[in-house]
Structure 1
Amino acid sequence: MTNNIFLTLYKDYVERIDAGILQSGSKLPSENELAVTYQTSRETVRKGLNLLAQNGYINKVKGKGSFVLDTGRLKFPVSGLVSYKELSERLGKKSRTLVYVTECVPAGDKIAKELHIRANQPVWKVIRAREIEGERIILDIDYLLAEIVTNLTKEITADSIYQYLEQELHLKISYAEKVICVERATEMDHQYMDLRDDTHVVVVRGYVHLEDTTLFQYTESRHRLDKFQFVDFARRISMVETS
C-alpha cells in the first residue's frame, strides 16, 4: 500500500485540477507539507509530483515549488495515428461532429498534387467541424481516394471514417507523415469554426498510407490556437547505445 501513495497523491490532484478546484497558476503545497498530509516520505511525494509534471498538470520550478498548468488546452498527439472518435473518448469531454460536406469529386490540381494522382481522378471530399463543450474548435478537411474508399456516406463521416475503413472495408492503415504550421485563418475557417477574434489557426497536414505504402488520404486539420497543444514523446538515444 505504501508504494502506491504517490498514485493516490497523483489522482487526488488530477481530480482537483480537472474539477477546477485548483486553477491555472495555483501553487501546490511543498514536498514537506505533502509528506505530512499523506504520511509518507518526500521521495514518494516527489514521484507523485513528477507524474503530474509528466502528464502536463503542473510545472515544477526549482527553488519555488510546483504550479498548476493551464489544462484548458486539449492534448492532440502529433506522432500518433488516432481517429477523432478515439481521441474524444480519451479526453472525456462533451463533443460532437458536424458534417458539412461528404461528396465524391474530381481531385483537381491542388489535391492531385498532394495525393500524387491525376486531376480528374475521383476523391471523397469531407468537411467536418469538431465541437467540444459547445465550441467548434477544429475543422477537418479530408480527401480520400475513391477507388480505395468506397460508398462513403454522411452517416459514416459523422461517426468514424477509420472505423469504417478498418472494420467494414478491412483496410490496414499503417502510418502518416505530418506537417504542422500556423497560418492565417481562411473564410472557411471563420465560417465553420468559432474563432472569435483570432486571425490565425494551427494547421496539421497529414498524408496517410496503407500497409502496402499506398498514399490514400490527404487531410488538413485546422485548430483554434487557444484550445490545442500538440504533444509528442521523444527519447534520447545515447551515443554509447549506437556505437
Structure 2
Amino acid sequence: MVKAKSDLIAQDLASKIKHGQFKCGEYLPSENQLTDLYGASRETIRKALQQLMTFGLIQKIKGKGSVVLDLQKFAFPISGISSFDELNKSLKMHAETRLLQDKMVNSLPPLFKKYFPEQLSNTGIYVERLRLINDEPVVLDCDFLLNPPVEQLPAVEAKHSIYSYIENQLGLEVSYATKTITVEKITDDFQKKLQLPNQQAVLVASQNYLADTTLFQLTLSFHNPRRFKFIDFARRQKIKI
C-alpha cells in the first residue's frame, strides 16, 4: 500500500527529531518553509504536523510555530487502536520483540480474571511478548485471543503484528477497543522480565472488538513508567442542561 505524502513527511520529520537534527525546545521550520522543502501543499504539511502532535513529538504554539518536545519518553496515543509493531514503525523506535509464550489454553488465565472479572472461562491462545528498545525491556504484552474467532496464531505472526494477521490472513476487521490505565504492583517474574527497580508498572488493560462487535482479544500491557507517557486528544462539548 502506497503511503500518503503526509505520512512520509511526518516520518522524515520524526526521524530528524529522534536523531537530534531538531532538538528539544527548538522550532521546526515554518509551514511555508516545509511546503517548499517537501514540495507539498500546505494542507499536506498540516496533516504531517498533526501526526507529530498526536505522537507527542511537537506542540504547535500560535504565532510561533511547532516546538519540539522532550523525547526521553515515548508517547503512545490512548484513544488509538494500533499494534505495537505499527507504532514501532511509525515512531521509528527500532524496537525488538521477544516471543515468550504462544500456546492454546483451556480457560482464561488467572491474571486476566483479576482485571476482567466479568469474562467467563474460555478456550483461547495466550501470548506473552517482551518489547525492547536499545536492548532495554520497556513493555511486557500479555494477550488472550478468544477461540473463536481466532483459532490459531503462528509464532511468526505472534512475534510481529497480531492485528495484521487477523486482518490480512483471517479476513476479520479490527474495529475498536475499551481501555483502562492504572499503576499496578506486578509479580516478581514480571519485574524481572522488565528489569524494573521496583514492582510498579503502568498497566493498559484493553478489550478489543471486531467490526461486528465480537470480542476477540483481551490485552494486559505492562509498561516501564520511566519510558512512556500516554496522550489523548479531547474536544470540549457543551452539554445542554
TM > 0.5: yes
> C-alpha separation between the residues in 2 aligned to 1:176 and 1:159?
20
The offset of 1:124, in angstroms, is 0.5
Structure 2 counterpart of 1:107, which letter? S
Residue in 1 that maps onto 2:224? 224
Alpha carbons 1:104, 1:146 under 8 Å: kept: no
Q: Which runs of 5+ in 2 are unaligned?
A: 1-9, 34-45
Equivalent position SS for 1:234 = coil
Residue in 1 that maps onto 2:4? none
1:115/1:12 CA distance change after superposition, 3 Å: closer
> C-alpha separation between the residues in 2 aligned to 1:91 and 1:77?
12
1:59/1:90 CA distance change after superposition, 3 Å: closer
Equivalent position SS for 2:85 = helix
Give the RMSD, CA atoms, in angstroms.
Answer: 3.6
Residue in 2 that maps onto 1:124? 125
How far does the alpha carbon of each residue in 1:100-141 deviate from its partner, in whole angstroms, 9 at most, with x for none? 00000122474468385543x311000001111221100000
Q: Does 1:201 align with 2:216?
A: no
How far does the alpha carbon of each residue in 1:168-223 deviate from its partner, in whole angstroms, 9 at most, with x for none? 1111222111000011232232232132x243110000011122212221110110
> C-alpha separation between the residues in 2 aligned to 1:148 and 1:216?
6
Structure 2 counterpart of 1:156, which letter? E
Alpha carbons 1:115, 1:215 under 8 Å: kept: no
1:54/1:95 CA distance change after superposition, 3 Å: closer
Superposed counterparts of 1:80-159, under 5 Å: 80-108=80-108, 110=110, 111=112, 114=116, 118-119=120-121, 121-159=122-160
> C-alpha separation between the residues in 1 aligned to 2:17 and 2:144?
39
Residue in 2 that maps onto 1:166? 167
> C-alpha separation between the residues in 1 aligned to 2:177 and 2:19?
35
> C-alpha separation between the residues in 2 aligned to 1:151 and 1:21?
44
When the two structures are aligned, how many residues end up with a matched partner?
211
Q: Which runs of 5+ in 1 are unaligned?
A: 1-9, 29-33, 39-47
Equivalent position SS for 1:87 = helix
The offset of 1:60, in angstroms, is 9.0
Equivalent position SS for 1:72 = coil
Percentage identity across aligned positions? 33
Asked which structure has the greater CA Rg, the reply is 1
1:202/1:87 CA distance change after superposition, 3 Å: same
Alpha carbons 1:129, 1:136 under 8 Å: kept: yes
1:93/1:11 CA distance change after superposition, 3 Å: closer
Residue in 2 that maps onto 1:188? 189
How far does the alpha carbon of each residue in 1:139-174 deviate from its partner, in whole angstroms, 9 at most, with x for none? 000001122112212111012111111111111222
> C-alpha separation between the residues in 1 aligned to 2:89 and 2:108?
35
1:115/1:154 CA distance change after superposition, 3 Å: farther
> C-alpha separation between the residues in 1 aligned to 2:205 and 2:58?
30
1:171/1:59 CA distance change after superposition, 3 Å: closer
